[in-house]
Structure 1
């Protein structure tokens, strides 16, 4: 079997992790490497397993995406669907399966295949039991689907499969990416299509608006420019906030694309300072102690890697 190399890459989630806590980035990119192999060290195996952990609000977003895509396909096929149908067909089975896998601890045998919920694994770090959150997750999921069906689907039901742009997703080969200064930049839009000589890119959000979301979707605009060789005026971005039922749409500008490119370059340069010799090509991390813990230790209680930092936090 070909040995996998831990190549340097960048994504918006990696950038967010690095800003929030350099140590989290160390665990999620470097300490876990080879943790899936039988000969891995205990630390590598633990870091790899914890990196696969999920939480209920993340599952909510995944459930919403599954259900809205099911509803979109139904509408494109000429069928009328409602919230309860979409929830029962695509969201509920997914949520039930993840909950069951986590409660049964199936992740102990295969953390990549089976869900492990933060609310179960770190129950002592949560103010209330996981079961108390279930009604909220169900209500949020249905509210998101209701807003999608009422406000977003009417804009999309006429889109045909020939107009849709295939997006390479994680788990099905190499995820969608582009190159910038020789660095692989991961950018994975939720949904994209051609209409009236423009590329439309949609990002589904099942929580509340955050300032970083505009940077994230602008990165998708840079992906469209680089990967599909489009000028800015042919790229239209849509942030779909499904929980409050709000949409922000705009044609991206060259200035915005330049700004996000500079953000990526500055972030890459910052990450390089934590590598031996600043060498992105070799991508050998400095030792663990060089990767600082966050100054805001409230973040630690929601981090997947709390177990690995616990002794240091309590010392």
Structure 2
């Protein structure tokens, strides 16, 4: 049964850690100011923080749309054995992108009332006009033209289509990894087992460029897998990034030392986060003034909570 709590439950994720590294004030708004902002009787400050938390940008929205379509395609394929045509998938992405634009330009009132159910682009909310930046439109148009092609020809889809010794396990759900008594949230795009090779394959679809942070996320996936399934050897786990922009896949093999380093990172990060709490047992934060703003004000322009800091 859903329970309204004064303060949110504390948990850890890599995105939460990255937010605090970037700006403590943004961290406060993302995880504390916005809490309960969906309630009708919430203070306006919390409601506005919750709305701003749900802003998205063009790149993030594109990635979300592509992930949703891929999840549906794989689910349908496992049930029917039929893969759709590239042109139809690309058109579906285009239609959803257009819907996001229409929401952002014509349904402002809907977003105010139901920010989680209505799309609002950061570029349009904070922009001077109801037009998306030309350079961003060109970038997303290029990604639109190649993403579905590279998805259908990816190593993962070739394995699912032509390897009969595949056991599908999980896709696109929040998972909870327990590190001590701490809840750590992870989201696996796809998990299946190659019975012929006795390999557990974790797949992460990427709609952007390769990042130095990718291995950290992958290590969390491995920790989840080791905790949830009986896997005797790390060598039986294959972690694969499918880069839909470039059309290539990169596989990783993690060792025990890397996993221990990631767990150390979690511990250090949690200590840092706890330093911003007045009552750690309740996850009650310090007052907002105790969360310093980033010194890089150029980055503030791209923050969802810009107007809370610079009215």
Structure 2 residue runs of 5 or longer lacking an equivalent are none
CA spacing shift, 1:288–1:241, aligned 2, 3 Å? same
Partner of 1:172: none
Task: Kindly indicate whether the alpha-carbon contact (under 8 Å) linking 1:67 and 1:87 is maintained by their aligned counterparts in 2.
Answer: no
SS across alignment from 1:157: helix
- In 2, Cα distance between equivalents of 1:44 and 1:93: 33
TM-score under structure 2 length normalisation: 0.88
The residue correspondences of 1:33-112 to structure 2 (distance < 5 A) are: 33-73=35-75, 76=78, 77-79=80-82, 81-88=84-91, 90-104=92-106, 105=108, 106-112=110-116
For residues 12-23 of structure 1, the aligned pairs below 5 Å read 12-23=14-25
Distance 1:210 1:162 in 2: 29
Structure with the bigger percentage of strand = 2
Residues of 2 paired with 1:183 and 1:191: CA distance?
Answer: 24
* Post-superposition offset of 1:266: 1.1
Residues 252-300 of structure 1, C-alpha deviation per residue, up to 9 Å, x if partnerless?
A: 22122111111111111111111125x2x32111111111111222211
Render the CA deviation track for 1:100-159: whole Å, top value 9, x for unaligned.
2111212122101111110110114x9x94163334323212312222222332133246
Q: Distance in 2 between matches of 1:291 and 1:58?
A: 26
Map of 2:140 onto structure 1: 137
Q: 1:160 to 1:47 in 2, by over 3 A?
A: farther
Question: 1:168–1:42: structure 2 CA closer, same or farther, 3 Å change rule?
Answer: same
Secondary structure of 2:211's partner?
coil
1:183–1:159 Cα change, 3 Å: farther
* Contact 2:172–2:189 (8 Å) recurs in 1: no
User: In structure 1, what is the equivalent of residue 204 of structure 2?
Assistant: 203
- Work out whether residues 242 and 249 of structure 2, in 8 Å CA contact, stay in contact via their aligned partners in 1: yes
Alignment of 1:273-288 (within 5 A): 273-276=275-278, 279=280, 281-288=281-288
The runs of 5 or more residues in structure 1 that have no matched partner are 170-174
Contact 1:202 1:237 in 2 (8 A): yes
Q: Which residue number in structure 2 is paired with residue 295 of structure 1?
A: 295
1:150 matched to 2:149? no
SS at match of 2:200: strand
Q: After superposition, where does 1:240-259 map in structure 2 within 5 Å?
A: 240-259=242-261
Aligned residue pairs, count: 301
CA contact (8 A) 1:167 1:176 kept: no
- Find the aligned partners of 1:275 and 1:239 in 2 and give their Cα distance: 36
CA distance in 2, matches of 1:28, 1:99: 24
Q: With structure 1 as the length reference, what TM-score do the two structures score?
A: 0.87
Distance 1:168-1:176 versus aligned 2 partners, 3 A rule: farther
Contact 1:63/1:92, CA 8 A, preserved across alignment:
no
Could you tell me how far 1:18 is from its partner in structure 2? 0.8
Q: Which runs of 4+ in 1 moved over 6 A?
A: 159-162
Moved more, 46-55 or 217-226: 217-226
Report the aligned-residue RMSD: 2.3
